[in-house]
Amino acid sequence: MSNPFDVIVIGSGPAGYVCAIRCAQLGLSTAVIEQNVNEQAKPLLGGTCLNVGCIPSKALLDSSHRYAEAAGHLADHGIGMEGVSLDVAGMMSRKDKIVSQLTGGVSGLLKANEVTVITGSAVLFAGRQVEVTDASGEKSTHTADNIVLAAGSEPTAIPPAPIDGDRVVDSTGALCFEAVPERLGVIGAGVIGLELGSVWARLGANVVMLEAMDQFLPNMDEQIAAESAKIFAKQGLDIRLGARVTDLTVNGEIVSVAYTQGDSNETLEFDRLIVAVGRTPRTEKLFAADSGVTVDERGFVFVNDYCATEAPGVWAVGDIVRGPMLAHKGSEEGVMVAERIHGKAAQLNYDVIPSIIYTHPEVAAVGKTEQDLKAEGVDYKVGSFPFAAIGRAMASGETEGLVKIMSDADSDQILGAHVVGPSAADLVQQIVIAIEMAASTEDLQLMVFGHPTMSEAVHEAALAVDGRAIHMVNRAKR
């Protein structure tokens, strides 16, 4: 048995490696265990986010947007383009280079902070003992005063659409197509499905998205979801709601998908099919029965508000615990746990975690939706402002969408904000800061926003809450 560490972190994704670095900064002897390795048998650090999730998908989203701009949207700017060509291999090479740079950066950070990296699959046993099995099958046991579980998640499988890794792929496979499919099917019109569907639609694929839910983006504000649906439809995404896949057959290069929609039985044929129905916590083989850690019926680890499990000295963060599966949420949980292990009274405000869909335009949100406030009986005020009335948006040719802000009718404290439009992720972050600082709508109204900027839409939406928007006709306030 090796010498015990102060902290062992299982998993090197955004929740795990950030937790490990913060632990090391606080003077705790720390180890990270990672089961995935690259072709050189070295640990593949960074988890889903850096390797097959956030980063590679955003690289392709950016590349595909630039191609779409060059191929069809620059004429309005007086720029003529002829013979625009698409190099999918070059696009993939750029994506892989970015991933390699970032994962190498994580390795360097762990090394600089003197975090020990252990390669192999880990299982937690009673007494905070961790058994690690390396690629050769050799086992070793490690102990620590604190164990942090950060094993992440994996794409959810559905019985009617088994993954074959060729014609039928999950979100990981969708990042590695060698050519643009003429007909692309996507099962699931949530965040992952929309982003991947957008990539390949921009590159020329005819995309049909089959969503089992009857409501589009049910967790988003209804007005923003409706506006987003209109924009995506104009972009050519064929989103079919209430479409429940019942069967799938692969015949050579053709994928036939049977689904029901209302009382109708339908069949579609595709060249490739992406299954993007969500993600599942990777906890099935993470701990033994005697570990003291328990999970719910979906496999999420039970934790308290500070990410402590029911087993003393064992914590869990990121995708394997309650809440949205977001890299930034997991990272901040990792920091909170590191500081609590060190004895600090750290906590995380789960009410101000932004959600973002990186389509173009982006969709982003923080705080309560209008339907939330209605259901809770909250007396609120609401204001919105369209990008079509923003000078910078007009100059950039990106006028679709709006900013929406809601605040308490009595205290004027900001309760939620929702954006679909250019730079939505960055604009919502401004309001994240405002909510965290307990700002009121009036505070935003009194701030000076640079002109011309996209952020002026935030200012105008705040003014609109009280019927004071300058660059549009205000609706009468109740």
pLDDT tens per residue across span 218-260 = 999 999 999 999 999 999 999 999 999 999 999 999 999 999 9
pLDDT of residue 3: 58
Closest CA to 336 of 15, 50, 114, 46: 15
What pLDDT was estimated at residue 461? 98
- The pLDDT score that the predictor gives to residue 76 is 87
Q: 3-state class of 381 per DSSP?
A: strand
Which tens digits make up the pLDDT trace of 443-458? 999 999 999 999 999 9
- The yes-or-no answer on residue 459 being catalytic is no
pLDDT computed for residue 4 by the predictor: 82
The total of other beta-carbon atoms located within 10 Å of residue 280's CB is 18
On whether the CB atoms of residues 354 and 429 are closer than 8 A, the answer is yes
Residue 127, CA atoms < 13 Å, CB-side half-sphere: 6
Residue-level pLDDT at 203: 97
Taking residues 159-164, report their average pLDDT: 96
What is the average per-residue pLDDT within 143-162?
97
Judged against a pLDDT cut of 70, whether residue 1 lies above it is answered with: no
Domain 352-465 part of CATH 3.30.390.30: yes
Give percent of the chain above pLDDT 90.
Answer: 95
- At residue 385 the predicted structure's pLDDT band, cuts being 50, 70 and 90, is very high
Mean pLDDT of 380-386: 98
Query: What are 321-373's pLDDT values in tens digits?
Result: 999 999 999 999 999 999 999 999 999 999 999 999 999 999 999 999 999 99
CB atoms closer than 10 angstroms to residue 471: 15
Question: pLDDT, tens digit, for every residue of 459-468?
Answer: 999 999 999 9
Q: What 3 state SS string does 310-336 have? A: CCCCEEECHHHCCCCCCHHHHHHHHHH
Q: Mean of the pLDDT values across residues 412-426?
A: 98
pLDDT for residue 476 is more than 80 = no
Strands 243-251, 238-241: pairing kind: unpaired
Tell me if residue 470 falls in helix, strand or coil: coil
The single residue listed with the structure tokens 């252990």 is 118
| pLDDT tens track for 169-187 | 999 999 999 999 999 999 9
Helix (H, G, I), strand (E, B) or coil at 42: coil
Matching CATH number, 5-154+280-348, of 3.90.1720.10, 3.50.50.60, 3.40.50.150, 3.40.50.300: 3.50.50.60
Instruction: List, edge to edge, every strand of the sheet that includes 272-275.
Output: 168-169, 272-275, 183-187, 206-211, 238-241
pLDDT of residue 40: 82
Instruction: Assign 477 to helix, strand or coil.
Output: coil
DSSP label of 475: P
pLDDT band at residue 123, thresholds of 50, 70 and 90? Answer: very high
User: Which of 73, 451, 459, 471 is an active site residue?
Assistant: 451
Q: Please state the pTM of the whole predicted model.
A: 0.95
CATH 3.30.200.20 fits 168-277, yes or no: no
pLDDT in tens, 67-119: 999 998 898 899 998 889 999 999 999 999 999 999 999 999 999 999 999 99
Domains 5-154+280-348 and 168-277 share a fold: yes
Distances (CA, A) of 468 to 161, 180, 271, 409, 465: 52, 48, 52, 15, 7
Q: What is the pLDDT of residue 41?
A: 83
CA proximity to 390, closest of 452, 447, 448 = 452
Looking at the predicted structure, is the pLDDT value of residue 2 above 60?
A: no
Residue 39 confidence (pLDDT): 82
Sequence spans of domains, the chain: 5-154+280-348, 168-277, 352-465
Question: pLDDT tens for residues 128-141?
Answer: 999 999 999 999 99
**Mean pLDDT, the chain, integer:** 96
| pLDDT at residue 369, as a whole number | 98
